Amino acid sequence: MRENGRVGVIGAGSWGTTLAHLLASKDYRVDLWVRETDLCRIIAERHENPDYLAGFRVSENITPHNDLEPVVRGHDLLFMVVPSHVYRQVAERMARLIQPGTVVVNASKGIENETLLTMSGIWKSILPNAGEIEVLCLSGPSFAVEVIKELPSAVTLAGENMQTLCEVQRVASTSNFRVYTSLDRIGVELAGALKNVIALAAGACDGLGLGHNTRAALITRGLAEIARLGVRMGANPFTFSGLSGIGDLVLTCTGDLSRNRTVGVQLGQGRKIKDILGEMRMVAEGVKTARSAYFLARRMDVEMPITERVYQVLYEDKDPRDAVRELMERDLKPELDNIPHCIPR
């Protein structure tokens, strides 16, 4: 990867804009794809993103574009930061522009509803030839507004080639943004997607006024079922005790800046999901991921009772109080099963 070269960032929401600013502040020339025409003009003229990061000035090294081509073509490093439900659509548009050998860093968190693929899986289905591009995953406890404020944060970068990981690690790290590497891409991807589902449940518990004991139990048992699915799909169990696992899970389940937790709080207070989403500008990824996770767990024959109840609350109009009662009244069992890696059931 070239020093002080050009980097493409696809997606100008809060996280995409923050990553673009972080890279631009290191003197990389950043081309940023902005879907909205008016927002693209505002970023170009005023160097701020009032829709997603009001009050923050972003680096003048960022060049916004409405057209995807100048952001993708000729760049050997791309950061993909679009909502998971449009990920395939955007990736397919990029496929005809992307050059062999390009490194794509996926910073989106989700599982595709129709195929139950992770974001790297979507790339593999679009560009099946091995080696055509290299896909990494960036995930961890990182609220965008705190990163752009330069508050100390740490995340995990996962992929299959340690040399590439170390190169991108160097590109993305700053004195306030520490990047660790991992060879467990599937584990990091699953942890980043599924923690949003558990955050919906944690928020619902808070909305119901169930207290700190309940939230702690919910987070712990949520981690158990995330790890159970991850190990079934080939992940390293220790990934789930790291930044992209318990780190991101705790942040998203407890932080007031968490969109998924906020949605969950309102569900617990009795509001309907369609009304909540109708008032939101930003995407709460856990709502769509809950559907994917529910069907993925069934496909993999993995028990995920919290995820199942979240799906039922969102898509079958189950009362959150009934969901809590059902979870508490399930058959009693040991916390740890005598299975490989001692992953809890």
Give, for 232, the enclosing helix (H) or strand (E): helix 211-232
Given phi > 0 = left and psi -120 to 50 = alpha, else beta, which region is 244?
alpha
- Does residue 136 lie within any of the structural domains? yes
pLDDT in the model for residue 222: 98
- Does residue 151 lie within any of the structural domains? yes
Q: Which domain holds residue 105?
A: 6-183
d(CA 2, CA 171): 9
Same domain for 198 and 90: no
For the cut 60, the answer to whether the pLDDT of residue 342 exceeds it is no
Q: Which residue in 124, 195, 288, 333 is the catalytic one? A: 195
Same domain for 198 and 160: no
For the cut 60, the answer to whether the pLDDT of residue 233 exceeds it is yes
Query: How crowded is the C-beta side of 14, counted as CA atoms within 13 Å?
Result: 20
Portion of the chain with pLDDT greater than 70, in percent: 96
Global pTM reads 0.94
pLDDT in the model for residue 344: 47
Q: What is the mean pLDDT of the chain?
A: 94
Same domain for 179 and 210: no
Annotated active-site residue 272? The verdict is no
d(CA 290, CA 272): 16
Same domain for 299 and 252: yes
Same domain for 20 and 169: yes
Same domain for 269 and 178: no
Same domain for 331 and 241: yes
Same domain for 29 and 178: yes
Domain count, the chain: 2
Please write the tens of the pLDDT for every residue from 278-322: 888 777 899 999 999 999 999 999 999 999 999 999 999 999 999
The encoded tokens of residue 248 equal 């991101």
- Does residue 144 lie within any of the structural domains? yes
pLDDT in the model for residue 130: 58
Please write the tens of the pLDDT for every residue from 34-80: 999 999 999 999 999 999 999 999 999 999 999 999 999 999 999 99
Portion of the chain with pLDDT greater than 90, in percent: 90
Same domain for 168 and 132: yes
The CATH number of whichever domain residue 309 belongs to comes to 1.10.1040.10
Please write the tens of the pLDDT for every residue from 98-128: 999 999 999 999 999 999 999 999 999 998 7
Burial 39-56 (b: 16+ CB within 10 A, else e): bbebbeeebebebbbeeb
Please write the tens of the pLDDT for every residue from 180-199: 999 999 999 999 999 999 99
